[in-house]
Structure 1
Amino acid sequence: MKHLPKHLRPRWRYLAVELESWPDADVSRREFQRSVWFAAQNLYGDAGSADADLRVLQFDLGSGDGEALVRARRGEVERARAAIACVDEVHGDPVRVAVRGVSGTVRAAEEKYLGNPTEIADEQRVVFEDESRRAVVRGERVDVDCEDGFAGATRFDAT
């Protein structure tokens, strides 16, 4: 089968996405891809989500912080941004997503927006609600391990 000439090939844009979740979240690339597809389908329907053709090319989420690279068709960047913004949980784990930037090549997206050192997660013991508890500290954010899951706090809330 012959390749299409360059002017007939589909053109892509690459969205660098920042991810944040609880430290114990176990999210895979496949589950994130499924959530992106469902968000696009729920927002635009079958035909609209097929036009955007969202594909997760890279994914990394560990100890609550991560990033992903999502491919979208050139004219569908705004729709892709909206669909990605609709993702609020992946496989039952709450997730915060934010688009850091958009680029025309994978390499440019990686160099400009991905691979920036994230805040180092440090596990500490803190006093929260008059009890000593385990917590994951990332910068000013403190995720305190409670009986029924994590609670988000700041350094002022936990000592």
Structure 2
Amino acid sequence: MNSLVLFGLLLIIVLIIAIQNLILIKRRKKKFDFIPLVLFLFFGVLWYFLVEMPYKKFWTQKTMVGFVEKEGTPKSGTLVLFKNGSFGASYHHADYSCTYQGDYEIIDNQLILKRTDIMELTDSIFTTKYLINRKNGVLKPTENEFLKIEISKIIE
């Protein structure tokens, strides 16, 4: 919502400057100033890439996507592993969602999320160590009090 308001203000400012330029062209025979138009297009494209892109990390590929849901509560989570060694752990609640970024490492069949505060930040939806079971399509936590993550997509 904030970016939409800022983009609207930028549009109004560019329109005012363009109208002022057109008045100066008509009265004093000056040339049209393209700098505000170029700045508006630049910020419009930048806004699209940063806010509206459907894939937030368009510079790298996803290698795995998993989902976990805590039964009887409005809590769930999505874990996305990227090819560049980073992950995004999204914690979904009934009325909001937060994504926490970090790096991961896979040693043998064990996934290690290199973010020690992920348990506290996601209200114990995610932990730092999982065993990868490709046959059943799950990430099984090494600690019993956490839930299994169902793997929905693996891209090799």
TM-score category by the smaller chain?
A: under 0.3
Q: Name the TM-score, length of structure 2 as normaliser.
A: 0.28
> What TM-score do the two structures reach when normalised by structure 1?
0.27
User: Which structure: larger Rg?
Assistant: 2
